[in-house]
Amino acid sequence: MAATGRLRVGFIGANGRWGPSAHAPALQRLPETEIYAVCTAHADTAQAAADKYGVKHAYGDVKALGADPQVEAALVAVRVPAHYALSKAAMEAGKHVYCEWPLGANTKEAEELAALARKLKVRTMVGLQRRASPAYLHLRELVRSGYAGQVLAVNMIMMGGGVLTRTADRTWQRDVTLGANTLTITFGHAIDALCMVVGELTEVSAIVATQAPQWFETDTKQYVDVTSPDNIMIQGRTGGGAVVNAYVGVHPYHGSGYRLEIYGKEGTLMMIGGGEAGQEANRKVMGGKKDDKALQELPVPERLKWVPEEVRKLGPGYDVGQMWVKFAEAIRTGAPVESDFDHAVRRHRMLDAIRRASETGQRQKVAP
C-alpha cells in the first residue's frame, strides 16, 4: 500500500548554505512535505540543527539516517564533492533522493548514481529548479503553443559580478576538479532552462575560459590560484533547427543581469531578469506578435504556481518548493519526474561536449 500524508524528508546538509536558505523554509511550509529528520557530519551539530528546525530525529551520519524506516526521502544539499557518496548511501538504504545540482563532481559519478537509482527503483530528483519555475513553465507553454511560430534564433546572456573576491569558506570552488563552478552551476542552470524552453542542443561550439586566474580572500587577505572557468560562450543549434547563442560570465564588477530572447516566424518572446537562483519574483515574460507595435508583459497563470502564497514570498524557497510539490507527487502517485538523475546525466554530458568544443576548437555533437 502506498504511503500517504506529508512526505517525511531526511535533511542531509542542515548546517550548509543553500539547504537552510532554500529547502528548509519550503519543506516546513508545504502541505506535501515535512522535515522529519536532520543529518550532519557530527552528532552535536545534528542535534543543534534538529533544535533549530523543531524536529525530533537527529543523525550524525548518513547510515544512521538510512536506518530510520520512517524517513521516506533524503535531501542531499551539501558541497558538490560529497553528492556522490551521500546520494549513493541514501539510495542503498531504500530512500528516494533529491540531490542538488550538479549531481556529481563529474559525469562518471552522475552516470553511476542514475544507474543505481534505476536498479533500486527509487525516485530521484536533481535540483535544476528552473524546471519548476512558473515563469519558465509559462514561457515553455508559449513556445509550444506556437506564440512565436517556428523558432529561428535564441539568444541568452547572463552577466554577474563579484568574481575577484570571496571569503575563504567559498574559495574551494576555485578547483575545477571539484565540480562546482560557473560552468557547472551558473551556466548549467541557465542552459538547462534554455533547453527546457526551446529544446535540446544537437551541436555546439564553445569558449570556456578562466579570465580571473586568482581570487582574493577577504577574510585571510590572501590571493589563491583559480582553475575554474568564469566565462562560457557557446553557439549551437537545437533539434528543431533554431540557432542558439549563449554567454554566461561572472565579472569583477557590475554585471548587467539576465535576458533570454526567442525569435520566431510569428513573433518574439523574452524572459527578462531573475537569472539567478531564488529570483522567481523578478522574472518577467514578455511577448510580441508580428503585428504588435511593442513587446508586452505576459502574466504567468496562477495554475502554474503550485506552492502556497507564503512560500512564494520565500525567495530561494519558491521554485525549490515547486520542485518538492512535484517530487512528493511523484513518490505518492508514480507521476513522472521532470529532472531526475537520468536527466542530470544528460546535462552533465552536454557540459562535457562544451568543454571538448572549447579544448579542441571544433564543433561537437551533443548526445541525446
As given in the structure block, the three cell numbers for residue 227 are 582553475
Q: Which residue carries 590571493 as its cell? A: 223
pLDDT band at 170 (very low <50, low <70, confident <90, very high): confident
pLDDT band at 3 (very low <50, low <70, confident <90, very high): low
Strand order across the 165-166 sheet: 165-166, 214-217, 222-225
- Per-residue pLDDT tens for 31-89? 999 999 999 999 999 999 999 999 999 999 999 999 999 999 999 999 999 999 999 99
Question: What pLDDT score was predicted for residue 361?
Answer: 98
Question: What pLDDT score was predicted for residue 368?
Answer: 83
Is 27:6 a contact under the CB 8 Å cutoff? no
Determine phi and psi for 23, rounding to 5 degrees. -75, -50
Q: What is the mean pLDDT of residues 163-175?
A: 89
Determine phi and psi for 129, rounding to 5 degrees. -75, -5
Q: Does position 348 have pLDDT exceeding 70, yes or no? A: yes
Separation between Cα atoms, residue 45 and residue 250, nearest integer Å: 34
Question: What pLDDT score was predicted for residue 307?
Answer: 98
What architecture (CATH level 2) is domain 7-122?
Answer: 3-Layer(aba) Sandwich (3.40)
- Per-residue pLDDT tens for 262-294? 999 999 999 999 999 899 999 999 999 999 999
Q: What is the mean pLDDT of residues 310-333?
A: 97
Q: What is the mean pLDDT of residues 197-213?
A: 97
Mean of per-residue pLDDT scores for the chain: 96
Q: Where in the chain is the domain with CATH 3.30.360.10?
A: 134-301+344-365
Element housing 46 (H / E) = helix 43-53
Q: Where in the chain is the domain with CATH 3.40.50.720?
A: 7-122
As given in the structure block, the three cell numbers for residue 339 are 529532472
Question: What pLDDT score was predicted for residue 269?
Answer: 98
pLDDT band at 367 (very low <50, low <70, confident <90, very high): confident
Separation between Cα atoms, residue 93 and residue 39, nearest integer Å: 14
DSSP string, 332-354: HH----TT-HHHHHHHHHHHHHH
State the DSSP code for 20: I
Cβ partners under 8 Å of residue 192, min gap 6: 128, 130, 131, 339, 347
The CATH fold assigned to 134-301+344-365 is Dihydrodipicolinate Reductase; domain 2 (3.30.360)
- Per-residue pLDDT tens for 93-126? 999 999 999 999 999 999 999 999 999 999 999 9
Q: Strands, E, within the chain: which ranges?
A: 7-12, 33-39, 57-59, 73-76, 96-99, 124-126, 151-161, 165-166, 201-209, 214-217, 222-225, 231-238, 243-251, 257-264, 267-272, 284-289, 296-297, 364-365
Separation between Cα atoms, residue 261 and residue 275, nearest integer Å: 13
Q: Which residue carries 529532472 as its cell? A: 339
Percent with pLDDT over 90 in the chain: 94
Query: What angle (nearest 5°) sits at the alpha carbon of residue 177, between those of residues 173 and 183?
Result: 65
pLDDT band at 251 (very low <50, low <70, confident <90, very high): very high
Separation between Cα atoms, residue 53 and residue 10, nearest integer Å: 12
pLDDT band at 1 (very low <50, low <70, confident <90, very high): very low
Query: What angle (nearest 5°) sits at the alpha carbon of residue 139, between those of residues 137 and 140?
Result: 65
Q: Does position 162 have pLDDT exceeding 90, yes or no? A: no
Determine phi and psi for 39, rounding to 5 degrees. -140, 125
- Per-residue pLDDT tens for 6-43? 999 999 999 888 999 999 999 999 999 999 999 999 99
Question: What pLDDT score was predicted for residue 338?
Answer: 92
Q: Which residue carries 533549530 as its cell? A: 52
As given in the structure block, the three cell numbers for residue 83 are 553528492
Q: Taking each helix axis as running N to C, give the angle between helix 188-198 and helix 341-360, from 0 to 180 degrees, rounded to the nearest 10.
A: 110
1-5, 49-53, 347-351: which range is least confident on average? 1-5
- Per-residue pLDDT tens for 209-220? 999 999 999 999
Is 246:234 a contact under the CB 8 Å cutoff? yes
Separation between Cα atoms, residue 66 and residue 15, nearest integer Å: 19
